[in-house]
């Protein structure tokens, strides 16, 4: 009974936070009010965030919605408002190092009470936990896990190109891309924007380089790993993919690339699981019209790109109560399932039954059961600044013939603090 348990969790949060909402309405303090700042604004996102708002309302809270499209933009407004002394009750960030400075400067409230009561440490994946828990305190409530490096393919395009089996390795993938090209289709539908170039790079790093190299590069920023022949091979494979994009690729939005798959004009796209929303709005189904590959081989990693609410300190003495209720509500099993099914992500909890989710999401949940296959997203290890500097190098390399050894040097320089 997920709905009921949700209610109980939320209610207990309310009680623990000092409220007695149902028991004595006459003397009860006002319902907790939370102004929630987030960047979920489009159709599917909107439906997803509404499930959270509804759950919060059901738990006795008042949800004031401040939606700002574009994650950077939303974070910019959150930071400005925190600096100006007028912070929202909760703000969406990526579960990453993006809010580490805020923690260091003592600007966030922790939600230890909720996290400990609910035993977050037992069901949250370690890579996610590491971004939320700093010096033993929990500073954010996770909402969703996206996987940025899925490989999507159009079944119609594959049929037309005579590709029978799903690629299981980079060799297979290149063979398939060649066949697509021969069939006169766009082999790789790619949106040539820096962040999308970087997603392709991460897909190659995780699958061709492997989890170990991935961590040595992104987490350890190990100069020897960056200079290694293995990493060189990753960079060459990454650049080799460029031969399969069409002339219209630069600057293209990711959804326009997905439209090429939907209409069967292109074969493959490497992109996060949010593309499912585009397929869905064109009435296409996973497994029937398109396929999804999380990675190559039984040990392929699953990259965790988490979203989480942070809770700025404010002058309002009621804020912590509203924040704790929110933290409890959004992480509850029922809210997680309802949210994930609309958002296209997978739940942050490993302890709930995900059989109602779509085919690709279930694949993801299955992989996540093996802890050794969980990897953090680049932003979980790198500061936003390091990450951006590396993105600049990679997008430049993707778009222009460059000596690989030089690129390795530039990456080493970008990651050197």
Partner 1 sequence: MTSVIRRRAPLRAALNPAWFALLPMALAAVVVYLGSFLWSLRISLTGSRSLPLHDYVGLAQYQRLFANDRWLHSLQNLAIYSPLYLAGCLALGFLLALLVDRQLRGGGALRAIFLYPYALSFIATGLIWQWLLNPELGIQQAVRAWGFPAFRFDWLVDQDHAIYAIVLATIWQGAGLVMAILLAGLRGIDPDILRAARVDGVPGWRVQTSIVIPMLGYAFATAALLLLTAAVKLYDAVVAMTQGGPGTASEVPAKFIMDHLFGRANLALASAGATVMAITVVALLAPLLYARGRAARVRA
Partner 2 sequence: MSVTSLKSMDEIRLGQLFAWPSRLTLEAWRAAWRSACTGVACEGIRGGFWNSIAIVLPSTLIAIALGALNGYALAFWRARGASLLFGLLMLGAFIPVQVLMFPLVRLLGPLHLVGSLAGIVLVHVIFSMPIMTLIFRNHFAALPRELFLAARLDGGGFLRIFLQLMLPLAVPMLVVAAIMQATGVWNDYILGLVFAGREHLPMTVQLNNLVNTTTGAKLYNVDMAATLLTSLVPLAIYLLSGRWFVRGIAAGAMKG
Interacting residue ranges for partner 1, rule: CB under 8 A:
72-73, 75-76, 79, 82-83, 98-99, 101-102, 105, 107, 192-194, 246-253, 383-385, 387-389, 392, 395-400, 410
The CB-of-70 to partner 2 minimum distance in angstroms stands at 5
Looking at the Cβ atoms of 226 and 310, the one nearer to partner 1 is 310
Binding string to partner 2 for residues 126 to 155, with x set by CB under 8 A, is what?
--------------------x---------
Considering only 9, 59, 68, 128, the residue that binds partner 2 (CB under 8 A) is 68
Instruction: For residue 3, give both structure tokens.
Output: 């709905």
Q: By CB under 8 A, is residue 215 in contact with partner 2?
A: no
User: 72 to each of 47, 92, 120, 336, 344, how far by Cα in Å?
Assistant: 21, 11, 27, 24, 21
Instruction: For residue 231, give both structure tokens.
Output: 């990493």
Considering only 83, 171, 243, 413, the residue that binds partner 2 (CB under 8 A) is 83
The CB-of-246 to partner 1 minimum distance in angstroms stands at 6
Looking at the Cβ atoms of 58 and 77, the one nearer to partner 1 is 77
Q: Which of 35, 266, 27 is nearest to 151 (CA)?
A: 266
Side-chain half-sphere exposure of 14, counting CA atoms within 13 A = 25
The CB-of-247 to partner 2 minimum distance in angstroms stands at 14
Looking at the Cβ atoms of 156 and 213, the one nearer to partner 2 is 156
Looking at the Cβ atoms of 143 and 262, the one nearer to partner 2 is 262
Instruction: For residue 360, give both structure tokens.
Output: 């690709």
**Interface segment toward partner 2; rule CB under 8 A; list 73-81, 102-110, 327-335, 376-384:** 73-81
Which does residue 246 touch among partner 2, partner 1, none (CB within 5 to 8 A, set by kind)?
Answer: partner 1
Q: By CB under 8 A, is residue 85 in contact with partner 2?
A: yes
- The number of residues making up the chain comes to 417
The CB-of-172 to partner 2 minimum distance in angstroms stands at 28
- Terminal-residue alpha carbon distance, the chain: 49
Looking at the Cβ atoms of 131 and 249, the one nearer to partner 1 is 249
Are the C-beta atoms of 149 and 270 separated by less than 8 Å? Answer: yes
The CB-of-212 to partner 1 minimum distance in angstroms stands at 28
Q: By CB under 8 A, is residue 277 in contact with partner 2?
A: yes
Which does residue 251 touch among partner 2, partner 1, none (CB within 5 to 8 A, set by kind)?
Answer: partner 1
The Cα 57–Cα 322 span in angstroms is 11
The CB-of-254 to partner 1 minimum distance in angstroms stands at 12
**Subset of residues 331 to 370 that bind partner 2, contact rule: CB under 8 A:** none
Are the C-beta atoms of 142 and 380 separated by less than 8 Å? Answer: no
Which does residue 398 touch among partner 2, partner 1, none (CB within 5 to 8 A, set by kind)?
Answer: partner 1
Q: Tell me, letter by letter, the H, E, C secondary structure of the chain.
A: CHHHHHHHHHHHHHHHCCCCCCCCCCCCCCCCEEEEEECCCCHHHHHHHHHHHHHHHHCCCEEEEEECCCHHHHHHHHHHHHHCCCCCCEEEEEECHHHHHHHHCCCECCCHHHHHHHCHHHHCCHHHHHHHEECCEECEEEEEEECCCEEEEEHHHHHHHCCCCCCCCHHHHHHHHHHHHHCCCEEECCCECHHHHHHHHHHHHHHHHHHHHHHHHHCCCCHHHHHCHHHHHHHHHHHHHHHHCCCCCECCCHHHHHHHHHCCCEEEEEECCCHHHHHHHCCCCECCCEEEECCCCCCCCEEEEEEEEECECCCCCCHHHHHHHHHHHHHCHHHHHHHHHHHCCECCCCCCCCCCCCHHHHHHHHHHCCHHHEEECHHHHCCHHHHHHHHHHHHHHHHCCCCHHHHHHHHHHHHCC
Looking at the Cβ atoms of 45 and 118, the one nearer to partner 1 is 45
Considering only 58, 215, 282, 404, the residue that binds partner 2 (CB under 8 A) is 282
Q: By CB under 8 A, is residue 285 in contact with partner 2?
A: no
The CB-of-191 to partner 1 minimum distance in angstroms stands at 10
Which does residue 201 touch among partner 2, partner 1, none (CB within 5 to 8 A, set by kind)?
Answer: none
The CB-of-228 to partner 2 minimum distance in angstroms stands at 33
Considering only 3, 33, 42, 232, the residue that binds partner 2 (CB under 8 A) is 42
Summarize as ranges the residues that interact with partner 2 (CB under 8 A): 35, 38-47, 49-50, 53, 63-71, 73, 76-77, 80-81, 83-86, 146, 253-256, 259-260, 262-263, 272, 274, 277-278, 280-282
């Amino acid at each position: 009974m997920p709905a009921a348990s949700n209610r109980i969790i939320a209610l207990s949060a309310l009680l623990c936070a000092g409220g007695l909402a149902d028991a004595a309405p006459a003397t009860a303090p006002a319902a907790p009010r939370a102004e929630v700042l987030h960047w979920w604004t489009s159709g599917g996102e909107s439906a997803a965030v509404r499930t959270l708002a509804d759950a919060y309302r059901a738990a006795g809270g008042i949800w004031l919605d401040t939606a700002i499209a574009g994650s950077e933009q939303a974070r910019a407004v959150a930071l400005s408002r925190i600096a100006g002394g007028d912070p929202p009750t909760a703000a969406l960030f990526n579960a990453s190092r993006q809010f580490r400075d805020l923690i260091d400067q003592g600007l966030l409230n922790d939600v230890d009470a909720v996290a400990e009561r609910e035993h977050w440490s037992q069901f949250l994946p370690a890579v996610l936990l590491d971004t939320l828990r700093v010096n033993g305190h929990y500073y954010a409530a996770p909402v969703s896990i996206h996987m940025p490096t899925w490989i999507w393919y159009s079944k119609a395009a594959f049929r037309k190109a005579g590709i029978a089996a799903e690629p299981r390795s980079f060799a297979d993938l290149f063979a398939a891309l060649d066949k697509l090209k021969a069939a006169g289709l766009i082999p790789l539908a790619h949106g040539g924007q820096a962040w999308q170039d970087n997603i392709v790079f991460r897909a190659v790093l995780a699958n061709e380089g492997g989890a170990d190299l991935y961590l040595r590069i992104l987490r350890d920023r190990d100069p020897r790993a960056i200079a290694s022949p293995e990493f060189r091979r990753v960079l060459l494979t990454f650049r080799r993919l460029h031969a399969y994009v069409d002339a219209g690729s630069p600057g293209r939005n990711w959804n326009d690339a997905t439209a090429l798959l939907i209409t069967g004009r292109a074969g493959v796209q490497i992109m996060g699981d949010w593309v499912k929303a585009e397929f869905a709005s064109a009435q296409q189904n996973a497994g029937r019209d398109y396929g999804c590959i999380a990675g190559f081989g039984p040990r392929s990693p699953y990259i965790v790109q988490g979203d989480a609410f942070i809770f700025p300190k404010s002058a309002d003495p009621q804020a912590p109560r509203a924040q704790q209720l929110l933290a409890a509500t959004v992480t509850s099993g029922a809210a997680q399932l309802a949210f994930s099914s609309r958002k296209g992500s997978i739940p942050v909890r490993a302890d709930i039954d995900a059989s109602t989710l779509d085919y690709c999401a279930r694949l993801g949940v299955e992989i996540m059961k093996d802890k050794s296959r969980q990897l953090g997203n680049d932003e979980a290890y790198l500061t936003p600044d390091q990450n951006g500097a590396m993105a600049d190098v990679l997008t430049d390399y993707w778009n222009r013939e460059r000596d690989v050894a030089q690129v390795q040097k530039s990456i080493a320089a970008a990651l050197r603090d």
